[in-house]
Amino acid sequence: MTVPQILVQAGARVSRVVGCRSRYNQQKLDVAVRDGRGRVRPDLVQRALNVAERAIADRRRAAKRAAVTASTWENVFRRFLGTDALPRVAKMWVRVFDDAGVRPTDPRATIQNRVRIFEADRYEGRIDADGIPVADAPVPMKSRRAAEGDVRWLKIATRWASGRNAVGKPSKLRKVHVAYPDPPYPPIIEADPLDDFSPMQSEAKTAAASERRYRLWLGHARRHRTGSPGFRRPTSRDVPYGRRRSWLYEMLVLANDTGRRIGSIRHLRVGDVHLDDVDIVKHPFGTITWPAKYDKISREWERVPILTRRARRAIERTLRRLERYNLPTDPEAWLFPSVNSFVSPVSKKTAGDWLRRVDVDLPPLKYNTKRWHSLRAKWATDRKDRANLVDVAWAGGWESVATLQDTYQKTEPERAFAAAA
C-alpha cells in the first residue's frame, strides 16, 4: 500500500471518529506524518493509523456504556429535550414502548414493528393521543396528520440519539424551524433504528360536494334570512341586522370559486379585496390578498386572482349591502361582519349553522367531512385535469401539489372512463 493510499484510509477512519470530512482529516494527517523537511515518515503513518483504530474502539465502548446507562426511552427524550418536563408526544412514546417492553438498544426491526403497530392502532382509534387504550368503541381518525407528526418527532429524536444532526420539523403545517441541540458524543444508540422507516401513507379523507348539492345550497341561501322562521329569532342585539338576509349566499360563491377555507373567507377585510387591480390577461376580475394571520399554514397570499365573474359580483353585492345597512366600508372593516356586531366577523359557529340549516333532505357527506370544507375539495376536483397543478395549488392556498392530489382531488367514474378508455 502506497503512502497516499494509507493517508486516504486513515483519513476515512478518523472521519468516523470526529465526524469531519475525509479530505480535512487527510490534510491533517499529511502534515502530521511528515518530518521537518517535508518527507513522509512511515513510522508516523503507522502511528496515525493506530491512533485512529484506538479512537474508533474507544468510541464504540463509550457508546455501549452510554446505551446501558440511558437504555430507557425516557432518558433518551430527556437528553434530547434538555429538560425533565417531557411534552405530550414524548410521554406518549414512553408509554407506547414501555407497555411493549421495547428499549432503545433493541434491534431495528423490533422498534420499527412497534411503531407500525402504533400507527395502525392510532389510525383505527384503538388508542388516544396519549397512547392510552380507548375503553369505548374505537372511532377511526378523520385526519392522520396528528399521528404522522408524532412519528416524525420520534424519527428526529432517534436520529439525534444516534449522533447525527437532528433535521426536520415536527409538523408540516407550521413552518417553524426548531433549534435542536448538538448530537451527543458518544452517541446514545449506535445506529438510528428509524433511518429507513417510512410512515404509513395517509388516505384521502375529505369528501367533495357534488354540483347538485352546491346548487341546492345556493337556492336555499337566496331565501336565507337571519330572522326568518325556522332560524334563531332576532334579539335586541341583532338590530339593525335582524330580519335581513345573511351572508351565506356570498360566502358560498366565494368558497366554491376560490377554493379557500371558510376561516380565511370569514376573516376577509374590505381592504383585502382589490377590485380595481384589473389586468385584462392575468387577473381580469381583480385580486384578493389572503392574510397570513388567518391562514392555516400562516402564509400570506398576495394578489391572488379572482377566477370568475360570479365571485366578483358576489363581492360587489356584499359591498353594496354594507353601504345599504350603514355598516363600515373602510379598508379595516370586515367584509362579512357578524350578525350581532360589526366589530367582529361572522363566527365559525354561525357560518356552520347557516350551511347546516340549508343542507336539508341530502345524504351526509363521506368521512364526516365538514360542509364548508367539502367545497374546497370540490374546487380541487374540478381542476384535476389542469396541466399546471403548481399554479392551481397556489391559487387555492395549498403549499404542495402532493397535498392537493392525495387529499383533495377525487376520482370520479365518468372522468376515469373518459381518461382511460
| Domain hosting residue 141, numbered range | 70-203
CA nearest 251: which of 341, 362, 348?
348
- 296 shares a domain with 284: yes
- 115 shares a domain with 57: no
Vertex 272 angle, CA 266 and 273, to 5°: 95
- 304 shares a domain with 288: yes
Q: What is the pLDDT of residues 213-229, one digit of tens each?
A: 999 999 888 876 654 33
Q: Please list, in sequence order, all residues whose beta carbon lies within 8 angstroms of the beta carbon of residue 128, skipping any fewer than 6 positions away.
A: 134
Q: What is the pLDDT of residues 97-140, one digit of tens each?
A: 988 888 888 888 899 999 999 988 888 888 888 888 887 788 77
Q: Please list, in sequence order, all residues whose beta carbon lies within 8 angstroms of the beta carbon of residue 308, skipping any fewer than 6 positions away.
A: 257, 285
- 75 shares a domain with 58: no
- 246 shares a domain with 355: yes
- 380 shares a domain with 287: yes
The whole-angstrom separation of Cα 154 and Cα 254 is 40
Structural domains of the chain, count: 3
Residue 4 is given by DSSP the state H
Q: What is the pTM of this model?
A: 0.58
- Asked if residue 264 has pLDDT above 80, the reply is yes
Following DSSP, what letter does each residue of 19-77 receive, concatenated? ---HHHHHHHHHHHTB-TTS-B-HHHHHHHHHHHHHHHHHHHHHHHHHHHHT-SHHHHH
- Asked if residue 399 has pLDDT above 90, the reply is no
- 77 shares a domain with 60: no
Residue 278 is given by DSSP the state -
Of 177, 203, 229, the one marking the end of a domain is 203
- 413 shares a domain with 352: yes
- AA letter at 239: V
Are 346 and 247 contacting, i.e. CB atoms less than 8 angstroms apart? Answer: yes
Q: What is the pLDDT of residues 344-358, one digit of tens each?
A: 999 999 998 888 888
What confidence tier does 414 reach under pLDDT thresholds 50, 70, 90? low
What confidence tier does 241 reach under pLDDT thresholds 50, 70, 90? very low
Of 40, 68, 96, the one marking the end of a domain is 68
Per-residue exposure over 140-155, b if at least 16 CB sit within 10 Å of its own CB, e if not: ebeebeebbbbbbbbb
pLDDT score for 202: 58
Are 146 and 129 contacting, i.e. CB atoms less than 8 angstroms apart? Answer: yes
- 261 shares a domain with 407: yes
- 384 shares a domain with 264: yes
* Per-state percent for the chain, helix, strand, coil, to nearest 5: 50, 5, 45
- 48 shares a domain with 74: no
How much is the average pLDDT of 154-172?
A: 72
- AA letter at 61: R
How much is the average pLDDT of 196-215?
A: 78
Following DSSP, what letter does each residue of 218-246 receive, concatenated? HHHHHT-BTTSTTSPPP-GGGTTTTTSB-
- Within 10 A of 412 (CB to CB), how many other CB atoms are there? 14
